[in-house]
Amino acid sequence: MKKSIKYAGIAAATLLAVAPVAAPVISATTTVQAADAATSIKKADADEWLNQFKDSYTLTATPIDDVLTNGTNYGTGLNVKPSDFFKDSFFGQMHHATLEDKTVNDKNAKITSVTATANDKKVAGTLDAAGANKILKDANGSGVTFTITMTFNNSATTTATTTKEITVLPVAKTTDTDAITSLAATYSKDYNVAYGSSTVNPTLTNTLDLTLNDSNNKNLANDTDNVTSVALGSYYTTYANALSASGSTFTDATFGDKDATYYQPITVNVKSGSDLQTFLGQMSAKGYSYTVNGVNASTTDNGQLIKDASGNITGIKMVRAINVTKDGANSDWTVKDVKGVLNTKSDKAFYTLHNDADQLVSNRALDKNSAWQTDKVRTNASGAKQYRVSTHEWIPAEDVTFEGSDVDTGSTTDPEGALTVTKLDKNKIVNISTTGMVYFLYNSKGVESTTRALGGGTAWQVDKTAKDAAGNVYYGVSTDEFVKAGEGVSLAN
């Protein structure tokens, strides 16, 4: 069966076809001049900020009060700094769980304003607040689409805009098929750290493969309508103390005791009024199924419910073990060359990646049932194995199936043979980000140039793309010169 292979570099751009243009040549006329970095940003950075917000958001309160106020919460009245937009009572809730204010904040006036306007896509022009509220209160309605417009400085003297649409939907009707009748919590109960490693290693604070699958096979751990946050706590010397969050904690800067085990609480904070809170409050009376790592919650003290003074359920508490290895299991990797394809499994919604230092990559993951090229595999002293899927990103072997030759095949040439070239219908811009570095050029036969390269901190027009036999992507910057996509090389939308 023929497989669809994705490019190993996760940040590879999707190419869109528009109108044909002539191919540029490398010269001063094709260079996009760098803007003043202290006061300006690139459109890609502005888009990255906007893309932290969801494409759609469903209101959760019913009945709802007026959510919009004329001239205040949307329209020309909402013309604010990005940091204020994050905090806006209406729009501030419509972002992904991993929201960060990244590099595009209100410092140095890089972004001058954020404006929101509304249209229900049925009538011409902008809705007033009363009209938008009427639509949002109709449970049978299609919602209101807001266009978020960001104005930013793209040079020391000029500004530009970028937009994103957010569709706000009315309160969803609850049906018997939508109601939660079971919950299966799964996560790794053990996590290994190297002897002598830092106790504040990002791997510890960010790595958690938690899923909360409900009766509709939906992972509620990533659903902000049900879970407000998932937090890892301090290290305790006993399981019981970690579960009760009492007693002394381990506060050393490094894990200095070989073969020691510490315990870390995991707290799932449940959103008030959510379907998950309703399920947890009714599961005993209605006999709903609730398991933790396959064990019924009624027969284990793990996965216990957290309640406030009024008896309302506010969260779920679990515990994982932190095992200190005696031989540095998370370091000293042995790396071999391989050639093959990785297929992610299907028991999770997505699979996390690790960087070269074995720290979790916090902003990207691989989708389930997807295929990826791999060229290297590494194994540490404890036998943990990871495959490389981009220049500095690795996936644990237990999350994938490998098809290929898992032996040392020696160094592979880069790129692999002649390139398959595809003409773009419209020129795009490729950004070469790292100043002080050079980026090699290749011809359509896959031969590296020994006389020409691109300097970091520049941008170039692209009129074609190409791929080599290994699936690597290249961008054509002149008649027969291509730069390879990857770290430091990105195609602007």
For 374, other C-beta atoms within 10 Å of its C-beta total: 24
pTM for this one? 0.38
Question: Which pLDDT score is estimated for 205?
Answer: 57
Structure tokens at 408: 């040392």
DSSP for residue 222: G
Whole-angstrom CA distances from 316 to 265, 298, 302, 361 are: 10, 14, 9, 25
Q: Distance between terminal CA atoms of the chain?
A: 33
Cα torsion for 52, 54, 57, 61, to the nearest 10°? -20
Tell how strand 211-214 and strand 458-467 pair up: unpaired
Q: For each successive 10 residues of the chain (493 residues), what is the average pLDDT?
A: 40 35 32 49 79 80 55 51 70 68 51 74 70 72 80 81 84 60 87 76 63 87 88 88 88 79 91 91 88 85 89 92 65 74 85 78 78 82 79 87 60 56 88 77 82 82 87 88 86 79
Question: Which pLDDT score is estimated for 459?
Answer: 87
Cα torsion for 384, 388, 391, 393, to the nearest 10°? -50
- Element housing 135 (H / E): helix 129-136
Do you find a cis peptide bond into 63, omega within 30 degrees of 0?
yes
Contact in structure between 187 and 211 (CB atoms under 8 Å): yes
Contact in structure between 117 and 149 (CB atoms under 8 Å): yes
Place of tokens 């009129």: 463
Question: Which domains are present in the chain?
Answer: 11-35+416-493 (no CATH), 38-169 (no CATH), 182-323 (no CATH), 334-405 (2.30.30)
Question: Which pLDDT score is estimated for 74?
Answer: 55
CA within 13 Å, CB half, 238: 7
For 100, other C-beta atoms within 10 Å of its C-beta total: 12
For 89, other C-beta atoms within 10 Å of its C-beta total: 8
Alpha helix positions (H), 59-102? 82-87
CA proximity to 491, closest of 455, 463, 452: 463
CA proximity to 234, closest of 190, 204, 191: 204
Paired residues of 286 in beta bridges? none
Question: Which pLDDT score is estimated for 270?
Answer: 94
E strand segments, 130-216: 144-153, 159-169, 182-186, 190-194, 211-214
